[in-house]
Structure 1
């Protein structure tokens, strides 16, 4: 339900509440001001105080009913015991007035219209007609038992009133049903993406916030962000009509695979989301893998022209409260996981994981880590390449360190250092980072400062102090020709030498707008050519084994992945 729809529903409920309360006041006013009864004490059990009390109770029933919200989020009508009590109460009071009021009160049978108005306006045409039938029976019974008429007379003398009751129930209830039908249609149009048939971005945001209010350790909330791999390539090659058809088919797969109370929505462009209330990370991974497999096996027109010979998707997953404490953060973490999946391999499902989760931090240092995370987010926004680059450098560095027998504790430090090695680029402007031309001397001088700036940022966190030299010296060359201090050989920390190789390899094999990327074999040959000058010759001997341990065309990250 959209926010305007909620406001509208509240306004309608408020109006109905006021109307019903006025109806009750009118009904009880007849009792209170029926002077014969109170002055002659014909009914000693009924007095003014008692009637006032009934009015208060009746108003309480009205307010209680409306606070529970009659119109639910889907615009459907669900009837509960309270609904029937709410409708029956005015009927009961109307019967009481009809049977105990004096004959000189003209048109007293009109009070039977009030329960019809309540039932028809609240529940629609069918309940309105049912209430009309009940009121007609009450009216006929009154004429027979109180007015001493036979059945024919009771019907004949009240035919106009009886007919009007049915007309009122039918008309008011019909208008109510039409209004509900059109409101549901408008809500559907407002909440649905017409191309994919899924919910739209606005509905997703509103419902995510609503579900997030119920999140707890025992009631997790998982989010899957789905992106179609190489979709621009598909659109450019086969046209937007076929691209739209792909979105429709994948939308249908998501709709079939996501069970209630979860739902799928189109996030925008070629991206989709699935919200899974009460779903753990493990279960969300299983669901996402099922969706990925189904799309991979689906036949798409022209799919054989796609890289890999088929249309595929990548998925990023995050779960609250494990990974996020707000809906915005949940989206952010799932997006990071998705970017890792697309940047590392594609056609892959990735669960969010933070390398900093294992750090033992004090309260002040937690704030600093959060600040560092924010800085990296800013760098990602300035240069999206940096984020994927840091992920891959971390992966290559860990694999190389493991190959040469680096201690486990040092490998953990290496993970932090490799991931943060370019954090100093926060000080460098976007134009320099993304320049398609040769850097000017001023720009180059600025760029060479990022190891120093990065180490200064990290040293503020005592737990990360051991990685400061790694970040500071990761651009030093083995022969002393690097920067910022021109260290050489064994003077360069081992972990920094490892990051130097991983950093260079990924830079050479990654696509940039202004240069052709090398193949894995070409990059390794270049590293071997620079052995002893730029790179540690002992480490270079193991690079080929590390890179080709997996398929050279697939830069596979470890199952835990890394992220902020």
Structure 2
């Protein structure tokens, strides 16, 4: 019963139902054309039958590709039509079934159900051509110029049935628009089809004049023409690929990206399936170009393009060079969370992949910023989608680069804060020349603080303090010597004591400006611990200001999950476990719960991405 049910479920699908219908129709026509008479073939007829079968099999070996993608054409139709015109429909179908049997025996690469489907399609086409030839007064045997109209209309019927049957097959199995599929056939392959069919008349004349030698001569001509068609379509594909490919990176070109994005969006809307777009920009590429020159910069672009291609090809994602050092990836089937996870993994792999001269870059490695946006019901055209992805990319760059942002997930700040934020950003930009990690860290902590202000429902005063304090909390690190600040190995006790002084140095820097003196508690106390084992004063519990306790959690979480080139760090899930285990000791347990809920709400589900987000 289970097997019967499975077969029933298959047949209910439009594509498989169509295959079954065509196979039954072809089998019925074959039986109908042969059941009323038994043909006895002479020895010379059998010689010709074997010769025709051999010719069909040889010509099928010399197939050539034609649109739509995956479709192939051979010159075997010439043989079937010629046998119809010379010997009649029964002879032609006999050659067909013998050829099909031999092909089933030696061609194990083709799916089993395609053999009866092909046999049925050829049977329908042969029957249609033979019937129209007979109805138009065509006489089987010698070629007659006065029957030329019958030959031509028979070829047209054969061609029409071929295009219709195969076109509907592609429409049902691979979806799309039937009219567009058939138009693709007519536009791109009509020359190949009609040339093949017209040659059937040439074969009739050759066989009538020279019998088997005429067939042999045609076989040679057919093999040469098949080879010529192969080369023609190979050249066509190469030219198309060249036109659609960016020669520098071997990714797709900007113009082809624009064309394909329309198609992907139409398919996503038609099937109600997810689709995401990522905009990627290499960080500080101009600095690399200025240092090493444009030829080396071009090599970096090519290298980065290969990294993108290797990541995208296994998942059938569409990657293109958008222009300059900007790239795009179209991700069918990806929601925002899964798309961000994929781009994040690509970003980390890029960070960890060495390339000549990257030490000149601020991050000490190849890095990029990216914006991600998923299509939804309000997305009305591709320009809007591109614009949203570009805005998310701009947000990623504004957060210190080498990060990925999803459009629309950044909380908006009150207008009154903008001037203060811009002023503080000018101060922390000094880190770009001394310690890019601290700059990026400050920007990320700031971003978390913006969201946590909403989560904790802070009033406007506390919101301002938390957001600005997060942005400037590490300003005291400007006083730490560069060799300690950028040291990659473990710090000595003396060096660690120097690092710990950054909170007091930060207090002194912030206190100078009357406008930001109220930020001192967050700058000075964000390393105090809930259990009293922090620094600089070993305060505990509620002795630590509430916002400083919030900032301590945000600061620690980002430090745990910060990705540095060539080093493994904690994943978000691992960092959340660390927060849980340290709640009540290092962190305020109540605030930890709020922060964990906030982070978990941002995490993609495992089913969406297949694994944990890092």
TM-score calculated relative to the size of structure 2: 0.45
Higher helix share: 2
TM-score calculated relative to the size of structure 1: 0.49
